[in-house]
A and B are shown apart, each in its own frame.
Chain A
């Protein structure tokens, strides 16, 4: 079962930052936070992951609170192509065979 809580939907104006929140209050010390997105029923696409430090890559930034009970995915300059369902997932370890538990995610709509 998914161990995360996300708002079902959000809107964001094109060019503005999109901030997608995720609660994972029962996260364990060895669980990582991952973000994937699914564009229009395509296969999910990896975005970013982290354990406790904030992370940034070419797609997004991940901000994890100090107590690790919540996190925020930031798309710094949202474009129309960022319209997708965004999944926040917690998973044990980075080198285990454990599957990802996808919840229902946040449906982000970027508005022109």
Chain B
């Protein structure tokens, strides 16, 4: 049973470009969470989605960031017009019920903005 998959594992973008990060949850999981980890810091919650719905986006920056989890396919975290401060590790987690007692994390995507 494959775990949470994220791709790409490493992404390099120049300032002003767009970054698209993909997350495939574990089989049977319909709840997805995105977290961001800046260097030397803990993970910060960004957004919680269920299929086709954003449930909680209280941790998302108001501009340039968006997330979706379509009926078919992976969840996408999209960052438009990236800036150097967006450089971080972005982790996706999934669970099989509303929150559930355990969230399973993917390996993360390391975004570097030049």
Contacts and interface: CB of A to CB of B under 8 A. Distances in A.
B99 A42 contact: no
Interface in B82-114: 89, 91, 93, 97-108
Given A41-B89, A44-B43, A97 B31 contact: yes
B18 interface: no
| Contact count band on A | 20 to 34
Interface string A84-97: 00010001011111
B44 interface: yes
B40 to A, nearest CB: 8
A96 B99 contact: yes
Contacts of A95: 97-101
Interface in A44-78: 44-46, 49
A12 to B, nearest CB: 21
Given A46-B102, A102-B35, A105-B42, A97 B107 contact: no
Nearest to B95: A97
User: Which of B48, B89, B101 is most buried by chain A, counting CB atoms within 10 A of its CB?
Assistant: B101
B98 to A, nearest CB: 5
A57 B91 CA distance: 26
Nearest to B105: A43
A2 B43 CA distance: 10
User: Which of B4, B41, B55, B99 is most buried by chain A, counting CB atoms within 10 A of its CB?
Assistant: B99
A2 B33 contact: no
A97 B101 contact: no
Given A2-B42, A43-B4, A100-B103, 11 more contacts: A34-B101, A44-B105, A49-B101, A87-B42, A94-B101, A97-B31, A99-B48, A99-B56, A100-B43, A100-B45, A102-B35
Interface of B: 4, 31, 33, 35, 41-45, 48, 55-56, 59, 89, 91, 93, 97-108
Interface of A: 2, 32, 34, 41-46, 49, 87, 91, 93-105
